[in-house]
C-alpha cells in the first residue's frame, strides 16, 4: 500500500475527533477493494517477492467407466458404460455408476431404473430416480455430454448371498413408458438390458459385540 494511503487511513479518525489538520505528501491515490492503486498490476507476491501461483488448468476430459459399453436407446441416449461394486455384503448398499451420453438434446425428461434380479428373474432390490439424484434431468442434457449417474441400491439383510443380475433402463414418470432399446442386448423385461457383470451378494458383516464393564 502507498505511504499516502496508509497515513490517510491511520490519521483520518484523529481528524474527526480532534479536528486535526494533517498534511499528506502528495495527492491521495484512488484505491481498489484490495487497497491497491487503480491502474497498478501486481505481477508477484508483495510479501515474498515470488510469482503468484498459476490457476490449475480446467479439465475437459469426459469421465471413463470401468466397464465400457455402447448400448443405444431411443431419443439419442447412449449407455456408455458403468462402474459396479461387484462383491457387496447384504445389509449394505451396492454402488452402481451409469455413464450416459446424449447424442442430441433429449426430447423428454426420463427417470432411470436399476433392478437387481434373482434366479427367477424377480426384482429383489431396486433404485429409481432422475439422473444424479435429480441434479441432472435429461431435458437439460446437451449433445455429446457425458453424465455419471450414481445409484445406491439398498440390499436388505434378509437377502440370500449369491449371484444376481442387474437390468437398467429409462422411462417417463407420467406414463411409465420405457425408452426403447435399439442395441441388441440380453434382456429379461422389454427395453431393459442386462449388465454383463452380475453382482455378488456376500453374507452380512458381523458386528462386534459390546460388553459392559
The DSSP string of 151-166 is: EEEE--TTSPPEEEEE
Top pLDDT among 188 and 9 is at 188
Average pLDDT over residues 42-64: 41
Full-model pTM: 0.69
What was the pLDDT predicted at 95?
95
What was the pLDDT predicted at 206?
72
Nearest of 177, 208, 169, 161 to residue 71 by alpha carbon = 169
Separation between Cα atoms, residue 117 and residue 63, nearest integer Å? 28
What was the pLDDT predicted at 208?
66
The CATH classification number of 67-202 equals: 2.60.40.2550
pLDDT category at 50 given cuts 50, 70, 90 is very low
Average pLDDT over residues 87-104: 96
What was the pLDDT predicted at 19?
41
Contacts of residue 205, Cβ cutoff 8 Å, sequence gap at least 6: 89, 91, 92
What was the pLDDT predicted at 205?
79
Average pLDDT over residues 16-26: 40
Least confident of 34-48, 127-141, 179-193: 34-48
What was the pLDDT predicted at 212?
60
Average pLDDT over residues 69-98: 96
Domain extent listing, the chain: 1-58, 67-202
What was the pLDDT predicted at 171?
98
Amino acid at each position: 500500500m502507498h505511504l499516502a494511503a496508509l497515513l490517510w487511513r491511520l490519521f483520518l479518525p484523529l481528524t474527526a475527533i480532534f479536528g486535526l489538520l494533517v498534511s499528506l505528501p502528495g495527492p491521495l491515490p484512488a484505491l481498489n477493494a484490495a487497497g491497491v492503486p487503480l491502474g497498478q498490476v501486481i505481477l508477484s507476491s508483495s510479501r515474498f517477492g515470488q510469482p503468484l501461483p498459476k490457476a490449475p488448468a480446467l479439465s475437459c476430459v469426459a469421465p471413463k467407466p470401468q466397464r465400457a459399453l455402447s448400448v443405444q436407446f431411443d431419443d439419442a441416449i447412449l449407455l456408455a458404460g458403468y462402474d459396479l461394486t461387484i462383491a457387496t455384503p447384504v445389509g449394505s448398499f451396492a454402488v452402481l455408476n451409469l455413464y450416459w451420453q446424449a447424442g442430441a438434446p433429449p426430447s423428454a425428461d426420463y427417470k432411470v431404473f436399476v433392478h437387481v434380479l434373482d434366479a427367477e428373474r424377480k426384482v429383489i432390490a431396486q433404485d429409481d430416480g432422475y439422473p444424479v439424484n435429480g441434479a441432472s434431468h435429461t431435458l437439460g442434457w446437451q449433445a455429446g455430454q457425458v453424465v455419471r449417474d450414481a445409484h445406491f441400491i439398498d440390499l436388505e439383510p434378509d437377502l440370500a448371498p449369491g449371484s444376481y443380475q442387474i437390468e437398467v433402463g429409462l422411462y417417463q414418470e407420467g406414463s411409465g413408458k420405457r425408452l426403447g432399446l435399439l442395441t441388441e442386448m440380453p434382456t429379461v423385461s422389454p427395453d431393459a438390458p442386462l449388465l454383463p457383470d452380475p453382482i455378488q451378494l456376500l453374507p452380512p458383516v458381523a458386528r462386534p459385540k459390546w460388553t459392559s464393564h
